[in-house]
Amino acid sequence: MKAPIQARQRGSTLVVTVSVVATILVLLASAVGYTQHTARGTSRSRKTATAMEIADGHLEHLFTHWRNVSRIQVMVALKKKISVSAFALPTQYFFTEVFNPGPAPNPDPVTTGLTAAPPVISLPSATLFPNNAYTVTQFRIQAVNPMIDLKQDFPATYPNPADPEESIVGVTTQAEAAFGPNTSTTNGQYSYYYLAAVDVTVPALKGSVTAKVRRVFEKKYDQPFTFAMFYVDDLELHPSQAMSISGPIHTNGNLYIGTSNFTMEAPSVASPTSGRVEFSSSYVNGPSPKDPTHLASSATKPTFVADMPPSMQPPYLPFGWNLNLDASTGNNENYHELIERPDPAATTDPIGSIRFHNQADFRVLVNGTTTADFTVHKKNASGGFDLVTSGNDYNTIMGALDGSGSDLDQAIIQDVREGGPILVTTIDIGEISKNVTLGMIYVSDTTAGTLITKNFNGLDHTTAKRGIRLKNGHKIEPAAGLTFVSENPVYIQGNYNTGDSPPSNSGTYTSPTGSGYTRKPCAIVADAINVLSNAWNDTTPTASRVASNTTVNAALVTGNVPSNGTTYSGGGENFIRFLENWSGKSFTYYGSMVQMWQSEQATGPWSASSTVYTAPTTNKWFYDTKFGTTVPPGNFQLAAYLQQQRWYQVY
């Protein structure tokens, strides 16, 4: 009986062994299958990431070409004196190697500014990417409205008219304006949007993966006056005493803030855009390497609004214009050209359409010291200028310039920062604004740089420096405001755009206008801007100049003297230049501070010496939020080219 039992035992063992082996084989097969599945998944993830990277590179390539075409449009339009800021290029102006949206563009210089069709945008070289085994089946830019509402307008040659995702805007349809308080192109704050698309397919272990990536490009027009402080060049902020700014700040260059004395005010109902600080190059909590005054080791952390540190943003270019617009002419040196008279020796003026000299309603050129030494030109209905030699307009301007006898109202003042005497021509702004219909007035002393000797207060003074002084500007009559422009330094004497007895001069800084007066949208644009207090007297010795409380309500567009390794620029805290002892006094300011160029006439470096000035004990600077909806007269736009607005991936 033992043999059968042993046989049965051996049979049972065999069955168990076979079962165990079968189970192991099943588990092994499952493991192999899982490993293969995981490998395929990992591979697809890697390939998807690769496809995304390649697609992102293609969108960068599209952005560069779209931006360049847009800039070319602006530059050509400026040269031809054509305004194209209200015109967005339609879709067919952006042909690509794999996308033909319809008929070839036919540039019309009157509406587009372009004189030739833009070139076809080629695909970027495959050698630029680590994996060049890919295919591109979509590569395009199309104009859209802000909500990416693709209009169903299909050219007959387009392959997928039934697929809304692949639809395009009709070739004659422009992008729709949007952004800002309204979408009116006359407001100066609006954007045009373009949808950029690319589909990239990359082979995987099994099949392939496709990344469909979309990004919105934004061509954004804005005004410099929508910023509390806007700098084209580096912005340095190192106030020695507590300083607080409301409203947004932007610099196209580097931002250097090295002190906890600087504070950004949080957004509020009165100042909803406050707290935003932007730079286009880099941000440093410390001084510029060109600043010889402040030490990096002494830097302290500034106070920003919670969760709102400085952020990098693309630069805002004046009129979308790059420097060195046209190297063949002397009319292109830098943005200072905007306030200069055109060079009579130049055969062309590429920025003639935006030069303030040409934008003004009146331009007054001072050529000497007597009432016979100035000319007045008034803009006519066709946009040209007529010489004015008589009538109400001429008599009013003559009265605003008239001094004693046959002389203009001129004086010698001692500008210690500039190192000596300045011959200033004084203009009665109140007189002009009451009797002349103004939007913008341009005034220049064309003798700047020429030595002249003038007797003042019994003494002869010789100087080549000139300036324009604005007096009696406390009441601006035109409801639309007033923009004053000069290529010379400007000296604002006394209250400006405040009405009589503004409460701010008595300590109520949030009330910058007197009873019954409404401040107007005003701007002062000049080589440099100085403020002389209500107590200023030309004959008071430099050491005895004691200021009195003063208020200015106007946007200030001007230049600075940059840090150069030997001297400090004075920073944003000294954007406004002073020449008095303001100790114990207050200066109240409502407006927008815009540094647009480096000063070319008032080039004296900033000095902390009390022999030049003593800063106000109370510096109350407020961004004028009214500039968010109503800007001073004149055309002074900024343009920025932005991407990654509503960036997204389509699966």
> What are φ and ψ of residue 404, in 5° steps?
-100, 145
Contacts of 354 (CB under 8 A, 6+ apart): 78, 319, 321, 338, 635
pLDDT at 256: 97
For residue 487, the enclosing domain spans 405-631
Q: Check whether residue 58 and residue 183 sit in a common domain.
A: yes
Q: Is position 129 within any domain?
A: yes
Question: Could you give the percent of the chain with pLDDT greater than 70?
Answer: 84
> What's the rounded Cα separation, in Å, for the pair 190 and 178?
5
Q: Quick check: is 354 in a domain?
A: no
Q: Same domain for 90 and 44?
A: yes
Q: Are residues 196 and 295 in the same domain?
A: no
What is the reported pLDDT for 175? 67
Identify the domain boundary among 273, 297, 323: 323
Q: CA-CA distance, 252 to 258, in Å (whole number)?
A: 19
Per DSSP bridges, beta strands 466-471 and 420-428 are parallel
Element (H, E) at 53: helix 2-79
Instruction: Check residue 113 and give its pLDDT.
Output: 82
Residue matched to tokens 């049979």 = 11
Tokens of 63: 């952005």
| Strand-pair category, 452-456 with 459-463 | antiparallel
Of 323, 354, 387, the domain-final residue: 323
9 found inside a domain: no
Report whether 490 contacts 528 (CB < 8 A). Answer: yes
Mean pLDDT on 605-609: 93
Asked if residue 413 and residue 516 are part of one domain, the reply reads yes
Q: Please check whether residue 83 lies inside any domain of the structure.
A: yes
Q: Is residue 378 part of a domain?
A: no
Tokens of 40: 């395929």
CA-nearest of 263, 253, 187 to 226 is: 187
Give the integer Cα–Cα distance in Å for 163 and 172.
20
Q: 40 in helix, strand or coil?
A: helix
Token code pair at residue 407 = 């002389």
Same domain? 183 vs 247 = no
Q: pLDDT tens, 365-423? A: 999 988 889 999 999 998 899 999 999 999 999 989 987 777 899 999 999 999 999 99
Cα 170 to Cα 342: distance, rounded to the nearest angstrom: 42
Domain presence at residue 489: yes
Position 164 scores a pLDDT of 46
CB 75 within 8 A of CB 321: yes
Q: Which of 447, 482, 480, 486 is nearest to 465 (CA)?
A: 447
State both tokens at 164.
């809304």
Output the pLDDT for position 435.
86
Asked whether residue 309 falls in the same domain as residue 437, the answer is: no
Element (H, E) at 213: strand 208-222
* Block residue for tokens 């802000």: 146
Q: What is the share, in percent, of the chain residues with pLDDT greater than 90? A: 54
C-alpha torsion sign, points 362, 365, 369, 373: negative
Shared domain for 230 and 219, answered yes or no, is no
**Could you identify the residue written with the tokens 């019994």?**
458
Q: Are residues 160 and 235 in the same domain?
A: no
Sheet holding 618-623, edge to edge: 550-553, 586-591, 618-623
Q: Which residue matches tokens 């002892």?
A: 581
Please give the DSSP secondary-structure letter assigned to residue 546: B
- Predicted confidence (pLDDT) at residue 5 exceeds the cutoff of 80: no
The model's pLDDT over 30-84, given as tens digits with 9 standing for 90+, comes to: 665 555 555 555 666 788 888 889 999 999 999 999 998 988 888 777 777 776 6
Q: Where are the beta strands (DSSP E) in 429-544?
A: 440-445, 452-456, 459-463, 466-471, 482-485, 490-493, 522-525, 529-532
Q: Among residues 540, 541, 553, which one has the least CA distance to residue 494? A: 553
Q: Does residue 5 sit within a domain?
A: no
Beta carbons within 8 Å of 390's beta carbon, 6+ residues apart:
none
Q: Name the domain boundary from 273, 301, 323.
A: 323
Question: pLDDT category, 333, cuts 50, 70, 90?
Answer: low
pLDDT confidence tier of residue 538, bands split at 50, 70 and 90:
very high
Q: What single-letter DSSP state applies at residue 307?
A: T
Binning pLDDT at 50, 70 and 90, where does residue 320 land?
confident
275 near 264, Cβ under 8 Å? yes
pTM of the model as a whole? 0.87
Please tell me whether residues 294 and 413 are part of one structural domain.
no
- Residue 258 shares a structural domain with residue 133: no
Same domain, 157 and 252: no
Taking only the tens place, the pLDDT of each residue in 238-258 is 999 899 999 999 999 999 999
CA separation for the pair 475, 551 (Å, rounded): 12
**Could you tell me which of 176, 173, 154, 156 has the C-alpha nearest to residue 165?**
154
pLDDT digits (tens, 9 = 90+) for 541-599: 888 999 999 999 999 999 999 999 999 999 999 999 999 999 999 999 999 999 999 99
- Of 427, 425, 398, the closest CA to residue 410 belongs to 425
The structural domain count of the chain equals: 3
* Banded model confidence at residue 156, pLDDT cuts 50, 70, 90: very low
Are 171 and 91 in a shared domain? yes
Largest CA distance in the chain: 151
pLDDT at residue 183, rounded to an integer: 62
In a domain, 365, yes or no: no
